Structure 1
């Protein structure tokens, strides 16, 4: 029997979620549509441990305190630990905009600014919007 590792779960989540994500940040995008973003971040090696601690705290606070934050799922590329990827899922673009103003996000952003070598935010577009809720039902099993 194969052991399920965190990396297997991460790969499964990425493979499952990204095709169903809905971009919601642009002004032309209707309210009420789920927004999914992939953050691609490169961290300076000397700050990696400190960055992980701050990111973990921010992600947990976002999911716990913000009803519009469905998921903030940080991970790193196994062979390149300074390469961080975060799947961010928001109820809609208003939830995302609200998230940006929270104290925990502002703390994350200001304290990690010097640690970030590169940042790319990738908004995703749904291929099959109806399937997204099924993913989360399976995670509960």
Structure 2
């Protein structure tokens, strides 16, 4: 089973332009440098450009913990914290569907 993290963020409107390049760089670094990171989508709400949803898929909870300890995440987190007015993090398990037809 994969480990899925969904993060809902609300940005301070005056920081949206500064936040998005940092967020996209963090997502790209996660995919490029973390073997346990399978997917990292950054989604912006159609209804509210200050609402950002992250959909991240990792091999395991340990792989997600490695992400949180990575230098690129630590830098992103420190540089973007003041730009976010609300943050909600939820974790899920993604069942392995390859055995469903067996």
**TM-score of the alignment, normalized to the shorter chain, above 0.5:** yes
| Larger strand percent | 2
Matched, 1:83 2:51: yes
**Is contact 2:10–2:85 with CA below 8 Å preserved after alignment?**
yes
Q: For residue 125 of structure 1, report the CA deviation from its aligned partner.
A: 4.0
Highest RCO, 1 vs 2 (Cα 8 Å, sep ≥ 6): 2
Aligned to 2:7: 39
- Asked if structure 1 preserves the Cα contact closer than 8 Å seen for 2:2 and 2:96, the reply is no
After TM superposition, the score normalised by the length of structure 1 is: 0.66
Q: Deviations over 1:46-88 (max 9, x none)?
A: 0001100000000000000110001110011111010000001
Q: Secondary structure at the match of 2:55?
A: strand
Structure 2 residue 30 is the aligned partner of structure 1 residue 68: no
For structure 2, the 5+ residue unaligned runs are: none
Q: Point out where structure 1 has 5 or more consecutive residues left out of the alignment.
A: 1-32, 133-141
Question: What residue is the counterpart of 1:21 in the other structure?
Answer: none
CA radius of gyration, larger in: 1
Paired residue total:
98
Counterpart of 1:130? 96
Structure 1 runs of 4+ off > 6 angstroms? none
TM-score, normalised on structure 2? Answer: 0.91
